[in-house]
Amino acid sequence: MIEYLSRNKQHSELYLTQFGREECVSCHFHGPAVRTHYLLHYILDGEGIFKVGGKQYKLGKGQGFLICPDVITYYQADETHPWTYCWVGFNGPLSEVLLKQAGLSLTSPILYYEKHDQIAEYLQLMTESKDYRKARETRLTGLLYLLLSTLVEHGPTAPPVHKESRAEIYVEQARDFIELNYAQKITIEDLARFIGLNRSYLCSLFKQRMNISLQDYLIRFRINKACEMMGNEKLSIADISRSVGYLDPLLFSKTFKKIKGVSPKQYRLERDA
């Protein structure tokens, strides 16, 4: 059983190209050949061999193999105990990133995952998605994400992060938190609690890396967002104030003038002039 899919224009970062399942006959083979997309096989039963890059792997139930785009591969079912496998073909810029997180790549193409029922379940749900008339592409993409997230979760443990890069991660998390939540009434305490650090320690790290205090960064981020909204004539100054986390329009105007040198009203007039 195999189903080929048309190009997914809605989900271009990661999308399915095909999926299927096959109970192979003795010595059934494919290749040597290349593919134009990623193809991940998972062995439900039986045995076989997979060849890539001058190496040969003997594989069985609970294992799988990754075929990368534009790479010559060959695989063949065992003579006495031929394998039954399922597969998913996919592509998109996120493919390599997620596969790498799962420990899979051209130089490390073998998958080890013993919970075959989970893989088979995702494949079954992909097949049943035919019942979805309007949202099938979205459902298939979601199932592909679920499958890959399962492999990432059970993949190899990431190497320990060095202290220097950990500090950079904390700063990036702080910036991401502000970008996603600046419109809410958030505080530095909320931010530190979210990241799991002491407030003073986080503020110190941020100042060292960004040459600006965390509080000032939050304020300037909000004011800059407010400036972007000034071009929308449907929004009043009070609307913009609330949209960037200031429930008090007077405080917003005072802060805006301190940062930009003019009041929000004057800024808008000069912008539109």
Distances (CA, A) of 63 to 88, 152, 208: 14, 15, 47
Q: How confident is the model at residue 72 (pLDDT cuts 50, 70, 90)?
A: very high
Residue 176, domain CATH: 1.10.10.60
110 and 47: one domain? Answer: yes
Residue 6 and residue 132 in one domain = yes
Amino acid, res. 92: G
Find the domain containing 65 and state its range: 2-153
Using pLDDT thresholds of 50, 70 and 90, give the confidence band for residue 9.
Answer: low
Instruction: Mark 130-167 as b/e (b = at least 16 C-beta within 10 Å).
Output: eeeeeeebebbbebbeebbebbbeebeeeeeeeeeeeb
Last residue of a domain, one of 153, 181, 201: 153
Tell the burial category of 4 from Cβ atoms under 10 Å away from its Cβ (0-12, 13-18, 19+). exposed
Q: 3-17, 36-50, 74-88, 224-238: lowest mean pLDDT where?
A: 3-17
Give the total number of structural domains in the chain. 2
Residue 158 is assigned to a structural domain of this protein: no
How much is the pTM?
Answer: 0.66
Strands 15-23 and 2-4: antiparallel
182 and 134 within one domain: no
Domain end residue (candidates: 153, 178, 210): 153
